[in-house]
Structure 1
Amino acid sequence: MPKDFSDVTGLPDDLGIGDDLARAEQHLTVRVESRRYGKPMTIVGGFDDGTVDLKDLASTLKRRLATGGTVEKDSRTIELQGDHADRLPDVLRDEGFQVA
């Protein structure tokens, strides 16, 4: 059975190294905005292209931060309820991203 090889690394896709490289090359930003009734919303942006499954990442972030949130597909951002600017960069680094 022939294996599929990554265009980026030249290694087999089943190793998942291409996904790790895609995450490491993205420089994400974290900001907090005030929404309706003064409630804080933490916004994660800076996703370059479709290499990262935003829905899966949002689920992981919501679970690790014990909060609600959503994915804005038009702007390619993740919105999390509450002010998580202090904890979120560390969680994103644990997931393999660079945070500005």
Structure 2
Amino acid sequence: MAKDDFTSITGLPEELGIDDDLQRARQLLTVRVDSRRYGKPVTLVEGFDRNTDVKSLASDLKRALACGGTVEDGTIELQGNHLRRVPDLLADRGYDVVR
């Protein structure tokens, strides 16, 4: 194996894919509900690293929750109050969540 075949974080072979799991586990996300126009609830997920594909994760969450939403400045905004389900969905994907 060449020196380039090992990851910079763990020093293990890249083919194991451990760096992605470690990157997600090191992030501490917060989930909260805010009130928007006309008192409509919006669930906000914050605390992502710059390297995280937030748009893809937002798409997965919207599909799982059957709701609309968007990504603004690295924060996922989901239409509705999903405070009970979002932390579990994020934990299933390897993220640590502050409730």
TM surpasses 0.5: yes
Return the offset for 1:10: 1.6
Distance 1:56 1:99, change over 3 A: same
Aligned length: 97
Q: Hey, what's the Cα distance between the residues in 2 that align with 1:39 and 1:61?
A: 19
Distance 1:87 1:14, change over 3 A: same
Q: Deviations over 1:8-32 (max 9, x none)?
A: 1122333321111000111100000
Q: Hey, what's the Cα distance between the residues in 1 that align with 2:51 and 2:42?
A: 25
Larger radius of gyration: 2
Aligned partners of 1:19 and 1:51 also within 8 Å: no
Q: Which of 77, 80, 91 matches 2:78?
A: 80
Question: Structure 1: which 5+ runs fail to align?
Answer: none
Question: Structure 2: which 5+ runs fail to align?
Answer: none
Alpha-carbon RMSD across the aligned residues, in angstroms, is 1.5
Return the offset for 1:96: 0.3
1:1-100 aligned within 5 A:
4-47=5-48, 49-72=49-72, 74=73, 76-100=74-98
Q: Hey, what's the Cα distance between the residues in 1 that align with 2:62 and 2:16?
A: 26
Amino acid at match of 1:85: L
Q: Deviations over 1:62-98 (max 9, x none)?
A: 11111111111x3x21000000001111001001000
Q: Deviations over 1:36-77 (max 9, x none)?
A: 011100000011x222110111111111111111111x3x21
Q: Hey, what's the Cα distance between the residues in 2 that align with 1:78 and 1:6?
A: 29
